[in-house]
């Protein structure tokens, strides 16, 4: 349940927005398909010819890449390859006004001429290229399919932040996101939150990291079984680097884990298997929802009103030793099920093996399910998951784009895979940093002849997500709006006839989106910040961590940085000497470095810092529950650091004024540059600031 505000509040908003869309969508679908079909079994399984399963390719970083190797960018129709003149703009990107030149000498204010389309570099878009092209065309923006010598406003990368070297504009990937959503990293990040807020984070199945936690896994399962002999669990083993169901298998007992050699070289997550999923037409399905992380600081999250539902192709049965290996029954991956003879390519958005999520919701609501509650639980799951991911993302961000250096700003579309349990509780399966944005699928036209054909369901959902992400990120929106206001004012003052071309150009610019549907992405954060901000403790810890990192570009805290943290936050005392703090640093850092693969820097990673922080909090505030201990310690640290900052500010000011007092009269102050603080020279502020000012880990 959401704190402070009933879930209904969330639901009320969603009802007005998404649910209305759901109904409209489903009504539309009903007209398209057989009206009697709703609630009835879908087309019978087995209608299609079985296909030869393709050999499993290695997993590509971009979802959907593996089965469909990236194609060269489609040859552009001439009209697209040439810079498309944007309506209302001259070929130079300036206002096209009938009978008037777009030159300055036209006598029109300069603002008319400075309107230009947003530029998008799509040269690295890979499999999202087709959907991106459609989006850019709909927005009447300008695409650079082969890159551009001059900077673009937006760079669209298919895989990662590092696809291209960019120093300005906006890019659709955050540094570190791919690493953050890997199965092990995600499980670790969520586990920290589960330790702090077990109730709030019970939407993620209990997970263990292999091989490190194999013994723990065995011991915990044995303990629960001893306490409850009727417990007959199933577990799912997922390789860390896997995707599209690759290498996943189910087990009934820890001893079934395939330890044979591969585990050391291929770490994995083993997770409680959700045995009672919600079924539709007797089939298990999951939901792919698109989430836009618009900004990290301040945190801004949007959720797409519609997503996709991917269906299994064999009727579901609860796991038993007999059916554990039936992948078409237990795994909902499209990339697997497409190879089942029962896979049904959708000819509408509400039938077949891949459907819109709104069509599922409509069906559920017609059976009396409270879909507002379902949505609000999903929104809550998404916000909480992003809150678990942001602390480490911030560490990556400051490392790749250090403050004060030129760099692009980032946004990212994430694919959330969610399973609904029979009782309608949403469960997070995983987060994809590169959700597939393909809008076509492979179809066997005649035996052995395959062709990529457009997929209605994919196109409907994915084009809207990309297009509306671009609309939200539009860097010229504000400019355009203010220009159109100026234009409006200028027109009024010049007493132009109200229906002149100029006036209509102004109107067009005022609302260039008039021809587009309403935005499919809805803001959920900061909109619901009040309900969720109390969860952002690790985020505040990450801010402390980053403050003491010191060297630009590093992601790990050195021993001096940790000491400075202890000293500046006044955490050492008679019960915690600086020597004890050093030992704490060494112990925790060594353990984490032996577990993590990332050996880029030596030192303490954020998660090790969090562990040390928990330890310190537990020592200092013994009687409180963990999250209160941690919150109290964060408050204390922030308090001491703010005092320190204030003191420095005062010192800085008084330093300046005393320096100016020392200037001989009549000498301009700037003529004598202030002397740099000499090593060992006593500073007027004796709070330790002068000591750290020469350290590698300067507190900035």
Residue 429 lies near ligand ADP (rule: CB under 6 A) = yes
Residue 57 lies near ligand ADP (rule: CB under 6 A) = no
| Angle formed at CA 56 by CA 53 and CA 61, multiple of 5 degrees | 135
Q: Which two tokens stand for residue 665?
A: 């009269």
Q: Which two tokens stand for residue 159?
A: 């895989």
- Cβ closer to ligand ADP: 377 or 474? 377
Please identify which residue in 64, 88, 117, 245 interacts with ligand ADP, judged by CB under 6 A.
245
Selected range binding ligand ADP among 139-147, 245-253, 506-514, 568-576, rule: CB under 6 A: 245-253
Please identify which residue in 2, 248, 338, 389 interacts with ligand ADP, judged by CB under 6 A.
248
460 contacts 95 by C-beta, under 8 angstroms: no
Residue 187 lies near ligand ADP (rule: CB under 6 A) = no
Element (H, E) at 135: helix 129-139
- Cβ closer to ligand ADP: 309 or 589? 309
316-355 residues in contact with ligand ADP (CB under 6 A) are 331-333
311 contacts 283 by C-beta, under 8 angstroms: yes
304 contacts 465 by C-beta, under 8 angstroms: yes
Site string for ligand ADP, 269-288 (x = CB under 6 A): --x-xx-----------x--
Residue 244 lies near ligand ADP (rule: CB under 6 A) = yes
Residue 314 lies near ligand ADP (rule: CB under 6 A) = no
Coil, helix or strand at residue 6: coil
188-207 residues in contact with ligand ADP (CB under 6 A) are 205
Smallest separation, CB 336 to ligand ADP (Å): 8
Coil, helix or strand at residue 485: helix
Smallest separation, CB 242 to ligand ADP (Å): 5
Smallest separation, CB 360 to ligand ADP (Å): 15
Coil, helix or strand at residue 412: strand
Phi-psi region of 432 (alpha: psi -120 to 50; beta: other; left: phi over 0): beta
Element (H, E) at 580: helix 578-595
Residue 236 lies near ligand ADP (rule: CB under 6 A) = yes
Site string for ligand ADP, 202-231 (x = CB under 6 A): ---x--------------------------
Residue 36 Cα to chain centre, angstroms: 39
Element (H, E) at 675: none
φ and ψ at 401, to 5 degrees? -130, 75
Residues near 278 by beta carbon (within 8 Å), at least 6 away in sequence: 285, 420, 421, 422, 424
Residue 186 lies near ligand ADP (rule: CB under 6 A) = no
Count, residues near ligand ADP per rule CB under 6 A: 20
Smallest separation, CB 258 to ligand ADP (Å): 16
Smallest separation, CB 380 to ligand ADP (Å): 19
Residues near 568 by beta carbon (within 8 Å), at least 6 away in sequence: 640, 641, 644, 688, 692, 699
Smallest separation, CB 275 to ligand ADP (Å): 8
Residue 64 lies near ligand ADP (rule: CB under 6 A) = no
| Angle formed at CA 315 by CA 310 and CA 320, multiple of 5 degrees | 110
Coil, helix or strand at residue 402: coil
- Cβ closer to ligand ADP: 287 or 610? 287
Site string for ligand ADP, 430-469 (x = CB under 6 A): x---------------------------------------
408-427 residues in contact with ligand ADP (CB under 6 A) are 417, 419
183 contacts 240 by C-beta, under 8 angstroms: yes
Q: Where are the beta strands (DSSP E) in 382-491?
A: 409-410, 412-420, 426-432, 440-446, 449-454
Please identify which residue in 7, 246, 442, 459 interacts with ligand ADP, judged by CB under 6 A.
246
- Cβ closer to ligand ADP: 414 or 473? 414
Selected range binding ligand ADP among 84-92, 158-166, 223-231, 236-244, rule: CB under 6 A: 236-244
- Cβ closer to ligand ADP: 421 or 576? 421
- Cβ closer to ligand ADP: 130 or 417? 417
- Cβ closer to ligand ADP: 322 or 681? 322
- Cβ closer to ligand ADP: 328 or 565? 328
φ and ψ at 488, to 5 degrees? -60, -45
Where does residue 72 rank: exposed (0-12), middle (13-18), buried (19+ CB within 10 A)? Answer: exposed
Residue located via tokens 């004598």: 672
Q: Which two tokens stand for residue 315?
A: 């009727």
Residues near 550 by beta carbon (within 8 Å), at least 6 away in sequence: 558, 560, 561, 695, 696, 697, 698
- Cβ closer to ligand ADP: 420 or 541? 420
Residue 238 lies near ligand ADP (rule: CB under 6 A) = yes
Selected range binding ligand ADP among 164-172, 234-242, 251-259, 396-404, rule: CB under 6 A: 234-242
Q: β-strands 308-311, 300-304: how paired?
A: unpaired
Please identify which residue in 57, 70, 211, 242 interacts with ligand ADP, judged by CB under 6 A.
242
Q: Which two tokens stand for residue 540?
A: 């505040």
What's the rounded Cα separation, in Å, for the pair 460 and 558? 50
- Cβ closer to ligand ADP: 60 or 154? 60
Q: Which two tokens stand for residue 655?
A: 């330093």
507-566 residues in contact with ligand ADP (CB under 6 A) are none
Smallest separation, CB 290 to ligand ADP (Å): 15
The site for ligand ADP (CB under 6 A) is made up of: 205, 236, 238, 242-246, 248, 271, 273-274, 286, 331-333, 417, 419, 429-430
């Amino acid at each position: 349940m959401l704190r402070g505000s009933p879930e209904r509040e969330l639901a009320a908003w969603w009802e007005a927005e998404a649910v209305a869309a759901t109904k409209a969508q489903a009504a539309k679908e009903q007209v398209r398909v057989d009206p009697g079909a709703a609630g009835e079994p879908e087309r019978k399984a087995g209608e299609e010819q079985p296909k030869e399963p393709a050999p499993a390719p290695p997993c590509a970083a971009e979802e959907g890449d593996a089965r469909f190797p990236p194609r060269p960018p489609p040859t552009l129709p001439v009209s697209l390859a040439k810079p498309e003149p944007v309506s209302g703009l001259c070929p130079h990107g300036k206002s096209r006004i009938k009978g008037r030149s777009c030159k300055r000498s036209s006598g029109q204010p300069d603002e008319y001429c400075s309107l230009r389309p947003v530029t998008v570099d799509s040269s690295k878009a890979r499999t999202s290229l087709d959907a991106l092209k459609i989006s850019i065309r709909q927005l009447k923006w300008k695409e650079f399919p082969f890159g551009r010598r001059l900077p673009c406003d937006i760079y669209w990368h298919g895989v990662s932040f590092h696809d291209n070297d960019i120093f300005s504009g906006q890019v659709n990937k955050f540094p570190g996101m791919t690493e953050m959503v890997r199965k092990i990293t995600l499980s670790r990040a969520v586990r920290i939150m589960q330790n702090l807020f077990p109730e709030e984070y019970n939407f993620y199945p209990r997970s263990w990291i292999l091989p490190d936690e194999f013994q723990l896994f065995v011991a915990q399962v044995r303990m629960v079984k001893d306490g409850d002999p009727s417990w007959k669990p199933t577990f799912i083993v997922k390789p860390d680097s896997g995707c599209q169901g690759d290498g996943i298998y189910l087990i009934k007992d820890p001893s079934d884990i395939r330890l044979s050699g591969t585990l050391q070289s291929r770490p994995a997550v083993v997770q409680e298997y959700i045995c009672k999923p919600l079924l539709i037409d007797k089939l298990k399905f999951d939901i792919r929802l698109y989430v836009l992380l618009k900004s990290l600081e301040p945190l801004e999250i949007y959720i797409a009103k519609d997503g996709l539902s991917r269906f299994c192709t064999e009727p579901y049965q609860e796991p038993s030793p007999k059916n554990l290996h039936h992948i078409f029954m237990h795994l909902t991956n499209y990339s697997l099920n497409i190879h089942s003879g029962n896979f049904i390519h959708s000819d509408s958005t509400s039938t077949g093996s891949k459907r819109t999520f709104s069509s599922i919701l409509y069906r559920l609501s017609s059976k009396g399910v409270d879909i507002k509650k379902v949505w609000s639980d999903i929104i809550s799951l998404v916000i909480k998951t992003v809150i678990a991911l942001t602390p480490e993302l911030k560490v990556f961000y400051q490392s790749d784009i250090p403050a004060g250096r030129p760099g692009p700003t980032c946004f990212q579309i994430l694919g959330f895979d969610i399973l609904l349990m029979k009782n309608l509780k949403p469960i997070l399966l995983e987060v994809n940093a590169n959700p597939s944005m393909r809008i076509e699928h492979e179809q066997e036209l005649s035996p052995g002849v395959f062709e990529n054909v457009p997929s209605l369901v994919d196109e409907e959902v994915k084009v809207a997500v990309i297009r509306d992400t671009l609309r939200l990120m539009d860097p010229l929106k504000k400019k355009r709006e203010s220009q159109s206001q100026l234009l409006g004012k200028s027109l009024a003052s010049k007493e132009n006839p109200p229906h002149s071309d100029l006036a209509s150009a102004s109107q067009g610019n005022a609302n260039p989106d008039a021809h587009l549907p309403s935005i499919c992405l809805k803001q959920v954060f900061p909109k619901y910040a009040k309900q969720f901000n109390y969860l952002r403790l690790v985020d505040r810890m990450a801010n402390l961590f980053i403050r003491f990192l010191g060297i630009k570009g590093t992601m790990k805290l050195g021993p001096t940085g940790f000491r400075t943290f202890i000293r500046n936050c006044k955490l050492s005392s008679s019960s915690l000497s600086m020597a004890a703090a050093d030992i704490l640093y060494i112990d925790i850092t060594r353990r984490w470095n032996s577990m993590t693969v990332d050996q880029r820097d030596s030192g303490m990673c954020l998660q090790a810092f969090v562990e040390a922080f928990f330890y310190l909090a537990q020592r200092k505030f013994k009687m409180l529950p963990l999250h209160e201990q941690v919150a109290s310690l964060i408050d204390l640290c922030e308090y001491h650091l703010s005092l320190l900052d204030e003191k420095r500010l005062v010192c800085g000011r008084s330093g300046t004024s005393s320096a100016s007092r020392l200037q001989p009269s009549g000498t301009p102050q700037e003529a004598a540059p202030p002397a740099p603080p000499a090593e060992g020279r006593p500073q007027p502020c004796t709070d330790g600031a002068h000591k750290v000012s020469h350290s590698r880990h300067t507190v900035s």
